[in-house]
């Protein structure tokens, strides 16, 4: 699919305050700094639409972007940012899981995984919980430009191997670089399948 127009709609502190669930949406989640906001900008082709930062913890609310007046892209805060106080972490966790478990128009969650590093427990646990909650997911490996191809592939294989413990069918995955626009065509194709089938 082609995205003609995308614009920021709203930041919400909890799922009850999100825009009406009258259009379908996909959400981007993953560890702090993994590249969620950058990927959203890469997909829409609008450089600073979702705010990015080299400092983890930039995105703190549920951010809705509306695409072609037909569907929403949702940028979520990252998990696993060590420097956040425990009370903040608990707040984040409640906000995110309330959203993930209750948002009725949520079609897919895209879980972003940094392909520069071997599988991390925090990511595997998060993906496992999504599976146990029957939330449909796709895996998106990020920062492909920052890792040697063989090493990146090794990390991806190890992650997929780790998923076999909990998943009968491993979720589909994509390799991306927001820097080089790697995976853009493939992801837009996927979004086309998700939304054009639904609309
Ligand atoms: N080289 C490279 N850098 C990237 C890529 N994607 C993101 N970055 C950089 O990684 C940092 C974090 O990117 P963000 O998009 O803000 O990450 P985020 O997951 O939204 O982070 P939080 O909102 O803090 O959870 C920024 O400095 C980006 O420029 C990529 O594909 N390649
Ligand atoms: Mg962000």
CATH classification at residue 188 = 3.40.50.300
Tell whether ligand 1 has an atom less than 6 A from the beta carbon of residue 96. Answer: no
Quickly list DSSP for 137-151.
Answer: EEEEEE-GGGS-HHH
Within-domain flag for 1: no
Tell whether ligand 1 has an atom less than 6 A from the beta carbon of residue 179. Answer: yes
**Number of structural domains in the chain:** 1
For ligand 1, the distance from its centroid to the CA atom of residue 83, given in whole angstroms, is 17
pLDDT per residue over 58-83, tens digit each? 788 999 999 999 999 999 998 987 77
Within-domain flag for 13: yes
pLDDT confidence bin for 198, thresholds 50/70/90: low
Within-domain flag for 35: yes
pLDDT per residue over 116-168, tens digit each? 999 999 999 999 999 999 999 999 999 999 999 999 999 999 999 999 998 98
CB of 75 closer than 8 Å to CB of 36: yes
Tell whether ligand 1 has an atom less than 6 A from the beta carbon of residue 31. Answer: no
End-to-end CA distance of the chain: 13
Contacts of residue 100, defined as CB under 8 A and 6 or more positions apart, other chains included, come to 27, 29, 106, 109, 130, 133, 135
Other beta carbons within 10 Å of 76: 23
Within-domain flag for 187: yes
At residue 114, φ and ψ (nearest 5 deg) are -75, 115
Nearest CA to ligand 1 atom 8: 35
pLDDT confidence bin for 191, thresholds 50/70/90: very high
- Can you tell me whether residue 18 is helix, strand or coil? coil
Tell whether ligand 1 has an atom less than 6 A from the beta carbon of residue 44. Answer: no
Residue-range definition of the domain harbouring residue 57: 6-198
């Amino acid at each position: 699919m082609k995205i003609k127009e995308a614009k920021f709609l709203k930041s919400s502190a909890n799922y009850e305050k999100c825009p009406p669930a009258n259009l379908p949406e996909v959400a981007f989640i993953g560890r702090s700094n993994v590249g969620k906001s950058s990927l959203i900008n890469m997909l829409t082709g609008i450089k600073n639409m979702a705010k990015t930062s080299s400092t983890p913890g930039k995105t703190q609310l549920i951010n809705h972007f509306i695409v072609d007046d037909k569907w929403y892209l949702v940028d979520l805060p990252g998990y696993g940012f060590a420097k956040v106080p425990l009370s903040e972490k608990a707040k984040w966790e409640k906000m995110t899981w309330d959203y993930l478990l209750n948002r009725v128009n949520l079609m897919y969650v895209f879980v972003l995984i940094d392909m520069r590093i071997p599988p991390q427990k925090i990511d595997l646990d998060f993906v496992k919980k999504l599976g146990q909650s029957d939330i449909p997911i796709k895996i998106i490996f990020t920062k492909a430009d920052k890792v040697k191809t063989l090493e990146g592939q090794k990390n991806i294989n190890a992650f997929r191997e780790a998923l076999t413990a909990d998943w009968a069918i491993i979720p589909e995955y994509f390799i991306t670089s927001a820097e080089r626009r790697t995976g853009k065509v493939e992801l837009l194709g996927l979004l086309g399948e998700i939304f054009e089938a639904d609309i």
